[in-house]
Amino acid sequence: MSLLDCALDFRHFIEELRRRNDLVDVHQEVSADLEIAAVCRRVYEQRLSAPLFHHVAGAMPGARILGAPAGMLASAEHAYSRLALHFGLPPESAPRDIVAAIRRAVKAEPFAPDYCSTGPVKENIWRGDEVDLERFPVPLLHERDGGRYFGTYGFHVVQSPDGKWHSWGVGRLMMLDRNRLTGPAIPTQHIGMIREMWRREGKPTPWAMVLGAPPAAVAVAGMPLPAGVSEPDYVGALLGKSVTLTQAETNDLWVPANAEIVLEGEISLTERALEGPMGEYHGYQHQQGHEQPVFHVRAVTFRDDPILPICVAGTPPEENHTIWGTMISAQLLETLQSAALPVDFVWCSYEAATCWAVVSVDIEKLAGMNATAADFAGKVAEVVFGSHAGYLIPKLILVGNDIDIVDIDQVVWALATRSHPARDHFIFPDVREFPMVPYLTEEDKARGSGGKAIINCLFPEQFSGVTRAGTASFRHSYPEQVRAKVEANWRQYGF
């Protein structure tokens, strides 16, 4: 079994985690009513191995739950290993390795999927009155949530009425009853755009949700590709190997043939229901829900002994930060470099809950622009905030490339010591804003703008290619031979 196999098959992925001792098989019976979610939150916060719950009280026999599928590990060497496995990368892969793999896929020729008549996801088929979502182990994730969330680590499948745009997009769905769910279909997101196309034809939107998908497919579904670009082709481009799809039972959509569970039906034209509140990816528990579209489930297909993966949203790091934030980082880097701006890396710090991206600026190339901080911030804003990835990120932090932007300690140091409060904060009040940003006011949301900012952490001299002062640290303050001697003698010193 290769690493690519693990990226293309959820069960191979789980077996590889078990082989690495990065999986805890929980055989004790557990409750889907908060207990499972509480275990997962503790796993995230202590950076422990992923839990696989084999016996969930009240669920149909054999149904299981996997928590923290892209959680972080405490090990410095393998901190990103579970995330890396989504891309078929080795366990020691670091953020720059992962982002480089994603960017190669963006530049590669798309790989068309393989289409087949059936697959493991068709081992069980419920249609019409047979559909009963309540037989699955659907968890209550937070004490004050408005309901149980079936879809927290899966993706929507929709396509334009003309069949030219096949969209996979990560989204959440709360269960209403045995055959109805509700969740956001934000008009500025791809699912909302396609739903509007169907609305103009006076028809509900054919829809499916895939759970327990190939890990690479989940990652690609979280990638902010431009409107009109079909995600299935990019799974193949990412891995150099096609994803295998099979047709849904009740509509013309194609879904991964080896998924664990596929829900299918349509998004209502007019029906709405209260969704939430829900503990959110930015770490806050809201107190009230919102009216959202109703998703009618007309059929369910699933594997024997199906495994439902879940993300228990909250304070970082969890999958909204590790998967979504990483995909956004790669797309922002591509956007900035395609615009010929002097940027060598971009990273959405997981600790910032996908509310900022840090931009590493090559100061030697920056010097050639003869720009001021205001000029440069304006150019970055024009390029980034006009893109789909930039729409999702409200704040950008600009730093020189003497800072390792993956290291949050260095980012905080730069933010505290290099940004002048009067001259380095640039506000863009009229730029379109993602409505889920937690600090937005109701007026901002109604206006659709008001929360975008760029914080410059480049010293004035860095715009001329010069850094004001060196860094006083182990890496920068001692000659290489002294550092090597200290590292070699570390245990002898008694550490």
Say whether 297 counts as a known binding-site residue: no
SS (H, E, C) the chain: CCHHHHHHCHHHHHHHHHHCCCEEEECCCECCECHHHHHHHHHHHHCCCEEEECCECCCCCCCEEEECCCCCCCCCCCCCHHHHHCCCCCCCCCHHHHHHHHHHHHHCCCCCCEEECCCHHHCEEEEHHHCCHHHCCCCECCCCCCCCEEECCEEEEEECCCCCCEEEEECCEEEEECCEEECCCCCCCHHHHHHHHHHHCCCCEEEEEEECCCHHHHHHHCCCCCCCCCCHHHHHHHHCCCCEEEECCCCCCEEECCCCEEEEEEEEEEEEEEECCCECCCCCECCCCEEEEEEEEEEEEECCCCEEEECCCCCCCCHHHHHHHHHHHHHHHHHHHHCCCCEEEEECCHHHCCCEEEEEECHHHHHCCCCCHHHHHHHHHHHHCCCHHHHHCCEEEEEECCCCCCCHHHHHHHHHHHCCCCCCEEEECCCECCCCCCCCCHHHHHHCECCEEEEEECCHHHHHCCCCCCCCCCCCCCCHHHHHHHHHCHHHHCC
Say whether 410 counts as a known binding-site residue: no
Say whether 347 counts as a known binding-site residue: no
Q: Cα dihedral angle (72, 75, 79, 85), rounded to 10 degrees?
A: -90
Q: Are the CB atoms for 377 and 426 separated by under 8 Å?
A: yes
Say whether 45 counts as a known binding-site residue: no
Contacts of 477 (CB under 8 A, 6+ apart): 470, 471
Say whether 170 counts as a known binding-site residue: yes
Say whether 231 counts as a known binding-site residue: yes
Q: Are the CB atoms for 351 and 320 separated by under 8 Å?
A: no
Active site residue 280: yes
Say whether 221 counts as a known binding-site residue: yes
Say whether 166 counts as a known binding-site residue: no
Say whether 380 counts as a known binding-site residue: no
Q: Are the CB atoms for 65 and 36 separated by under 8 Å?
A: yes
CA distances from 1 to 81, 188, 335, 352, 406 (A): 17, 40, 35, 36, 31
| Per annotation, catalytic residue among 280, 318, 319, 334 | 280
Q: Annotated binding residues for Mn(2+), as ranges?
A: 190, 231
Q: Annotated binding residues for prenylated FMN, as ranges?
A: 170, 172, 189-190, 231, 388
Q: Annotated binding residues for K(+), as ranges?
A: 168, 221, 223, 231
Q: Annotated binding residues, as ranges?
A: 168, 170, 172, 189-190, 221, 223, 231, 388
Active site residues: 280
